[in-house]
A and B are shown apart, each in its own frame.
Chain A
Amino acid sequence: MEILMSIVVGVLFMTATYLMLSKSLLRIIVGTGLLSHGAHLLILTMGGLKRGAAPLLGENAESYTDPLPQALILTAIVISFGVTAFFLVLAYRAYKELGTDNIEQMRGTESNE
């Protein structure tokens, strides 16, 4: 299962990279979204998959899934959500001010610095 998940993560990273190399600001943000999904799944996979019950003591199981990666991912999800939201509004404002979402047109040059 870990091999399959590694491949899934690889595909997510691949598509994310491809999107981030494109010109449209929206695609770049979509790319970062995919990248964070990939990273979260990677953490989960590296922690080991499906070894025991969900990390709730009420289950009274023999063994539990590792709770630590889950806590880490939860933190990461929230942070990436905050950053994505900020980035989105930034893109929105940039779009409104500059009238474009093509980052090639947002280039800074020597003259206007």
Chain B
Amino acid sequence: MSLLHLAIVAPLIFAILVPFFYKSFRRIHTGWFVLPLPILLFIYFFSFISTTKSKEVVMKTLDWIPTLGINFTAKVDGLGLLFALLITGIGALVVLYSIYYLSKGKEKLHNFYVYLLLFMGAMLGVVLSDNLIVMYAFWELTSFSSFLLIGYWYHREKSRYGAQKSMLITVFGGLSMLGGIILLYLMTGSFSISEIITQADVIVTSPLFIPALICILLGAFTKSAQFPFHIWLPDAMEAPTPVSAYLHSATMVKAGIYLVARLTPVFAVDGLWLWLVASFGIFTLFWGSFSAVKQTDLKSILAFSTVSQLGLIMSLLGVGAASLHYVGLDDNLYVVATTAAIFHLINHATFKGSLFMVVGIVDHETGTRDIRKLGGLLHFMPITFTLAMIGAFSMAGLPPFNGFLSKEMFFTGMLRVLEMDFFSFDSFAILFPILAWVASVFTFIYSMILVFKTFTGKYQPEKLEKKPHEAPLGMLISPIILASLVIIIFFFPNSLLSDNLISPALSSILPSLLTDEEGFMVHIYQWHGFNPELFMTLGVIAVGVLLYLTLPKWRRVYDLFPENLTLNRFYDGAVNRAQTGSFKFTKSFMNGSIRSYLVYIFTFFIVILATALFYKNAFKVDTTNLASIGVYEVLLALLIMIGAVSILFAKTRLSQIILLGSVGYTVSLFYVLFRAPDLALTQLVIESVSVALFLVCFYHLPKLRREETRIRFKLTNAIISVGVGAIVTLIALSAHSNKFFSSISQYYIENTYEKAAGKNMVNVILVDFRGFDTLFEITVLAIASLGIYGMIKLRLARREED
């Protein structure tokens, strides 16, 4: 186990210790014990930057299930490291923030930090595993810990609903991803991502390629909240705000992005991948920003904004993958899209994390997140306002914040789609820049709503639960750090990010584009000159300001969407229908009546045997090897048949019992005829005892309701019973006609006296050759008699109740 492995599972191991800290040191906030871990991990992963910068990849393998090719292979390359730094860095800030956000006395802190550490370890595992199965295991652990964190306040109905919803959707995607992984394994014979990438040309020609692609994408889209699977994310806002900031904006929802980026070298060879990723991304971008404007809850706005920003990154990854189709061009047009995706991924983590924390502060200090109740907080919370403004302006794509840079690159990438000339992109490529631009306008509007509806306008003290005041310093540290990053990245994007993080990440996403040792030359410009992108941004600002000011006038647009035609309604309906449907289905055949179950069993018996007889052509009657028929046998056969059938028509219980007895005695007469003296003897005795028992039980019963009726005729019963009888007869005849080998009984006949010193062969078989049967048959009788005794004597429960 290397240090790298230890670093990945350190949060998981540390999670075990958290309850001890919590119980032993009640006076210190448990978060302080947790805080050093992500900081240490961040420093540790930071030390890898020089390695990945020189394009080296660190691989460490720990055997797990070597026989199945499943090993915990940790791999640090540019992409994995970028995510690991995000996870540990923002993790540390979130832990710090949560120390001030969650109260020591009221909250179950040990639960919170255990779940959070579980999540952190799982997420590190996802981004640093080279083995797909190991990655899948960590992937499900993120779903699982996210479920626990969303349902942290489990006494709230909405938390439980949100947790269940996110669990159902992400686990659905996760399972489908597992399907994709298995398909990849079938195609390549390996679970290792690095090895699978080298076989990309094998995969693309395989018939399993398309199913694998769709399965993997389902996993990525559900996790990263792409349309139409984004519905779980707004409901996940019931989690504590640090969780929303960490999981549902900066890290977990980017696991799908990570997956798409990681498997781009495998799947992007086919145009379908680009098409699906880019289209779903761009539509999610539009839909998320469009829906965000109508929200009234601050966290809902941020949730939909996250959805839309994830769509943006996803569409950039889709478009960027086009660069693989233009290998050989010196000036690769589409690498800029992938660069923008990575860059925006970092930017989004910074500004969205700080925005969530800001909203958490507002919630914490005023007691509400409803923008209709908020307003005029500027004078009470100047620092928070500044932070919110930095975050929101960056989100809207304004200078001098980092969102501006990535938004410009995003426009560049989208405009390049116009030049794409394959996979029918050319016909509707124009939609991409248009949707991107419209979505940016909406992004601008909701960013403005977020800041100005909260902090400016009329102060409404009567609607607030608390008197608002500035947050404590500790709560402000984390958003201040993130917000300063927002500005610093704007001014120094190249010295900070491009060579250290973006370029190594690019070479992980697009490895085949690099011919020699050189890396991607990434250069981010603040100023492009007067180009279309700049005018698009200016247009966004102009139209955005106009629409924001006239918001009350056109807000009614949202009423055009019928209330009961939303995706949430559809989801709720599907869940409900699945429940009631399966309930009804079970009810329809599990009706509690023994007769119905017997009907199923007998019908199945008839159908399966008849089909087998028919299909295997097994039925035949061989008349050569038959015993002769005598008068007595015919008479007895008639007697037994008449006896059996007349039970059906017997009216009283007594006659039924007597008829059953007559059948039994006839059977024993058969035994006499067929030379089985011991059987005849036993049958006679047992039949007498049975009939006596029947009589005791039912003839001397208290006359509760003695309406003696004949059995009522039912056609289905008749058909089924005739079917059973016929099948048994047919099988008996066929079995008798298909004898493959002779009996082993010659041995018993020869050795009964010689070896076992007896002359009665049946008895010798029972007690000597096959004595074990007899032993347990005695046991059966003993158990039966004890059971009968118990049933008659022990009546504890009922009697006490009475």
Contact = CB atoms under 8 A, between A and B. Distances in A.
Contact of B704 (A3, A11, A100, A103): A100
B600 to A, nearest CB: 11
A48 to B, nearest CB: 7
Contacts of B589: none
A46 B154 CA distance: 66
Interface string A67-86: 11011011101110111111
Chain A interface extent, by class: 35 or more
B729 A64 contact: no
B765 A68 contact: yes
A9 B728 contact: yes
Interface string B80-91: 000000000000
B720 A17 contact: yes
Contacts of A90: 791
Nearest to A14: B725
Interface SS of chain A: helix, strand, loop or mixed? helix
Interface in B641-666: 641, 644-645, 647-648, 653, 656-657, 660, 663-664
B733 A3 contact: yes
A49 B735 CA distance: 14
Given A71-B766, A104-B593, A15 B675 contact: no
A33 B664 contact: yes
Contact of A10 (B671, B698, B725): B725
A108 B592 contact: yes
A30 B783 CA distance: 22
Contacts of B694: 26, 29-30, 88
Contacts of B35: none
Contacts of B598: 20-21
Contact of A107 (B593, B648, B682, B701): B593
A5 B640 contact: no
Contacts of A6: 729, 732-733, 736
B648 A18 contact: yes
A107 to B, nearest CB: 4
A67 to B, nearest CB: 4
B45 to A, nearest CB: 55
B724 A1 contact: no
Contacts of A50: 627-628, 673-675
B692 to A, nearest CB: 10
B729 A9 contact: yes
Contacts of B671: 44
Contacts of A92: 697-698, 701
Nearest to B716: A21
Nearest to B599: A21
Nearest to A79: B780
Interface stretch (B239-247, B283-291, B743-751): B743-751
Contacts, number: 270
Given A9-B729, A10-B725, A84-B690, A74 B762 contact: yes
Contacts of A24: 711
Of residues A18, A22, A45, A97, which shows the largest number of chain B Cβ atoms within 10 Å of its Cβ?
A18
A22 B634 contact: no
Interface stretch (B360-368, B431-439, B752-760): B752-760
Contacts of A45: 732, 736
Q: Which of B634, B637, B641, B667 has the most CB of A within 10 A?
A: B667
Nearest to B711: A22
Interface string A40-74: 11101111111111111110000011111011011
Given A6-B733, A50-B675, A85-B690, A37 B765 contact: no
Contact of A93 (B679, B728, B791): B791
A44 B777 CA distance: 19
Nearest to A103: B594
Contacts of B785: 82, 85
B58 interface: no
B602 interface: yes
For the complex, would chain B's binding face be called helix, strand, loop or mixed by DSSP majority? helix
A46 B633 contact: no
B675 A13 contact: no
Interface string A91-104: 11101110110011
A19 B724 CA distance: 12
B679 A70 contact: yes
A37 B667 contact: yes
A47 B732 CA distance: 11
A93 to B, nearest CB: 5
A2 to B, nearest CB: 5
Interface string B696-725: 011001101100000110100110111011
A64 B599 CA distance: 42
B748 A81 contact: no
B621 interface: yes
B726 interface: yes
B704 A67 contact: no
A26 B682 contact: no
Nearest to B629: A1
B732 A51 contact: no
B627 A30 contact: no
Contact of A71 (B648, B660, B765): B765
Given A65-B676, A67-B748, A88-B694, A15 B648 contact: yes
A1 B717 contact: no
Contacts of B753: 57
A91 B697 contact: yes
B677 interface: yes
A37 B679 contact: no
A72 B569 CA distance: 64
A17 B760 contact: no
Nearest to B743: A66
B678 interface: yes
22 contacts: A1-B633, A2-B626, A4-B629, A4-B637, A9-B729, A10-B725, A11-B644, A15-B645, A18-B717, A21-B598, A30-B660, A41-B670, A50-B675, A65-B674, A65-B676, A75-B774, A77-B682, A78-B682, A85-B693, A86-B784, A95-B701, A96-B701
The 5 residue pairs across chains A and B that have the minimum distance between CB atoms: A14-B725, A10-B729, A82-B784, A17-B721, A18-B721
Given A10-B726, A19-B711, 5 more contacts: A34-B644, A70-B679, A71-B765, A77-B686, A93-B792
Interface of B: 591-595, 598-599, 602, 621, 623, 626-629, 633-634, 637, 640-641, 644-645, 647-648, 653, 656-657, 660, 663-664, 667, 670-671, 673-679, 682-683, 686, 689-690, 693-694, 697-698, 701-702, 704-705, 711-712, 714, 717-718, 720-722, 724-726, 728-729, 732-733, 735-736, 743-745, 748-749, 752-753, 758-762, 765-766, 770, 773-774, 777, 780-781, 783-785, 787-788, 791-792, 798
Interface of A: 1-24, 26-27, 29-30, 33-34, 37-38, 40-42, 44-58, 64-68, 70-71, 73-75, 77-79, 81-86, 88-93, 95-97, 99-100, 103-104, 107-109
